[in-house]
Structure 1
Amino acid sequence: MTRALIVVDVEEELCGGGAERAGAIAELIRGPEREGWARVIAALGVGAGRGAYGRVVDEVFSTGGNSGSPSGFEGFSEDGTPLADWLHDRGVDAVDVVGPAVDHGVRATALDAVRAGFATRVLLDYTAGLAPRSTREAIDELQDAGVELTGRPVMAAAI
């Protein structure tokens, strides 16, 4: 299996835990775990730029244009390639998803990954829940869709 990491909405102002969640994800990307991913992708809101992740990711996908969807799979690379096509073109067949909002962007991205035919895993230790109820609902929806879940999300209010 060729696996990629998709980092969703890591702009610090969007993170439930601010710099703490973004920092944990940055450590993950820069750490020894990086060897387990053939590609690392950042899916950021339109106009967010490469930011601190620009040097450690293979590609940045701009999301949230006209569709308003929080899914990284609504994003396009600088040359206009959709995320699913970009991954398939590089032989990726499995993805891990991380990001600050398990009940928003992470959920949407993981569900779209499954629909696009990728084996999908969410690394909950590198996510945060915006609210207990929406976090539980998101986790249930992900499990029902066949997404593999590891770890536990941090609750934004607890950070």
Structure 2
Amino acid sequence: MKLKLTAAVLALIAAPAFAQEAPTGDVAAGEKVFAKCQTCHVVANEAGEVLAGKNSKTGPNLYGLPGRVAGTYPEFKYGESIVALGATGFAWNEADFVTYVADPAKFLKEKLDDKGAKSKMSFKLPKEEDAKNVYAFLASLAPAADAAAAPAEGEAAPASN
């Protein structure tokens, strides 16, 4: 029973990743805009291979950002407000990412309904098109969706067609 309950809870937590719609931005344009982001961020896979950026650790690793619960990248010291947002189950999608990078502090204040909410990210990417393009670029580097959809231990694999 415990295994089934754990699997069900994990499925609910992972649900935002499966509900992700295809990004609307341009991947190649996003790669160019990401040059502004790499001062603080890197995109490095599980093996530590740097896929984008300069291995900067001022901001969290953005690998697998689409669908990830906010403030949860392992071993990164997030600010209190982004952690509080993640505690609500909030997971990144394109629309929220675009709004967040335009003004991170304002986004957190609105999402948390907390005028005192703060963001450690001071950089702003105000152009919606640039933000959509960066999101598309990050999504292009994310782990394959079918790997994330692997069955939990003890569950049967989905039938293939």
TM-score by length of 1: 0.34
**Structure having the higher Rg:** 2
Please state which structure has a larger fraction of its residues in helix. Answer: 2
Please state which structure has a larger fraction of its residues in strand. Answer: 1
TM-score by length of 2: 0.33
Greater relative contact order (CA < 8 Å, ≥ 6 in sequence): 2
